[in-house]
Amino acid sequence: MTGTPGSLVRTPARIAAVAGVTFTQLVRMRLFLVLAVFGVGFLGLQFVPYQGQLGVEFRGVQQLQLIKDVAMGCMQLFGLIFCVGATALLIPRDTEDRILYTILCKPVPRFDYLAGKACGVLALLFVMLLMMDGLMSALLWLRESSLSAELKLSLQQQGIAPREMAPYLEQVYAAGNSGDTQRSIVCMFLGYGVLTTLTLLFSCFTSGTIVSMIFGLGAYFIGMFQGQLFTAVTATGEPGTSPLMQYTQQIVSLLLPDFSLFSVADTAAAGTPLSWGMVGSLALIAAAYMLMHLLISAWLFAHKEF
């Protein structure tokens, strides 16, 4: 029986086994080719012309900020497309390859199967984000080192004493890689973890990959702008918020997370401090949403006919 204590003890092993198969399956799709495009694009940043009329201290800040903005934007775009596309493809592909029937004929609970699928997607996403982050960090370090040396030389030529260079150098260091940038990437990963389980939930009751992708992307954009959406609806109606609107907003917030909570890259880029306490709070929110999505998915999956 799947509800016995012994079966529950074996749940992590089953989830890990399904996650390993899913990870291998996704790697065979050659998604790592995205890293090659990412690397070539980053090399191109070395040759982007900057505003030469600015002082070297401001030009250096702009260069580092551009590298960081482009890298974070690529990570966000790739994470969105990968989470929705790869997750929506998993169950239909397992059904076509008859893998699903082989797995479900064995004593594998639906929850373990779905959780393993989600963990496999997130494992590959984690590896690719880690590689992108490493490439970004290496490029930022190289540019920061060269710009700092260039800035020191320029300030010396202007007759500025070494002890007076600190404010200029701090601007360059602040625009480079920082702890806030790394914490924003962690928050980004948490948000895409929620999106992965939500797309998996959609794939349990939709009829195909394309429909699941549309539902997943739609849920993401609604979640990103649900605050503005409800504000606009309230503004066009009568003053105040009706009880029906309040209940609707609560239901939407419960089922569709506010993905703007996890999109803190702009906050970090603007220099606003991002503490580990905030990251921990977002991790708890993400874990609650992911568990809820997986439990609903398991129930729907158990009642679905293949």
Is residue 210 within 8 Å of 89, Cβ to Cβ?
no
Question: Are 197 and 90 in contact, with CB atoms under 8 Å apart?
Answer: no
Using pLDDT thresholds of 50, 70 and 90, give the confidence band for residue 46: low
Higher pLDDT pick, 9 / 133: 133
| Any domain includes 251 | yes
Task: Report which of residues 46 and 217 the model is more confident about.
Answer: 217
In a domain, 179, yes or no: yes
CA–CA separation, 10 and 2 (whole Å): 10
pTM, whole model, 2 decimals?
0.82
CA–CA dist 31, 26 (Å, integer):
7
Indicate whether 3 belongs to any domain. Answer: no
Report the candidate in 13, 197, 203 with the shortest Cα–Cα distance to residue 107. 13
Q: What are phi and psi of 165, to 5 degrees?
A: -85, -15
82-95 residue pLDDT tens: 899 889 988 888 88
In the predicted model, what is the mean pLDDT of the chain?
A: 78
**Residue of 133, 138, 81, 150 whose CA lies nearest to 265:** 133
**Rounded to the nearest 5°, which phi and psi values hold at 206?**
-90, 170
Mean pLDDT for the stretch of residues 129-134:
88
Tokens of 165: 């260079």
> What tokens does 19 get?
């996650």
Contacts with 100 (C-beta within 8 Å, 6 or more apart), sequence order: 91, 94, 306
| Selection from 239, 38, 214 nearest residue 139 by Cα | 38
Three-class SS of residue 48?
Answer: coil
SS3 160: coil
Does 2 reside within a domain?
no
User: What is residue 187's predicted lDDT score, i.e. its pLDDT?
Assistant: 92
What are 164-209's pLDDT values in tens digits?
776 776 776 667 777 888 888 999 999 999 999 999 999 988 878 8
Burial class (CB in 10 A: 0-12, 13-18, 19+), 285: middle
104 domain residue, yes or no: yes
Least confident of 4-18, 20-34, 104-118, 132-146: 4-18
Q: Which single residue is written with the structure tokens 């954009």?
A: 221
56 domain residue, yes or no: yes
CA distance from start to end of the chain = 23
Residue 4 counted as domain residue: no
Residue 133 belongs to a domain: yes
Percent of the chain with pLDDT over 90: 23
- CA 134, 137, 140, 146 dihedral sign is negative
d(CA 267, CA 270): 5
Report the range of poorest mean pLDDT among 16-25, 62-71, 115-124, 227-236.
Answer: 227-236
For the chain, what is the domain count? 1
Show the domain range for 75.
Answer: 9-302
Q: What is the pLDDT of residue 110?
A: 87
| Residue 284 predicted with pLDDT over 80 | yes
DSSP string across 100-138: HHHHHTSS--HHHHHHHHHHHHHHHHHHHHHHHHHHHHH
Dihedral angle over CA of 85, 89, 91, 96, nearest 10: 180
Place of tokens 């290496």: 138
Rounded to an integer, the average pLDDT of 128-153 is 82
Higher pLDDT, 92 or 162: 92
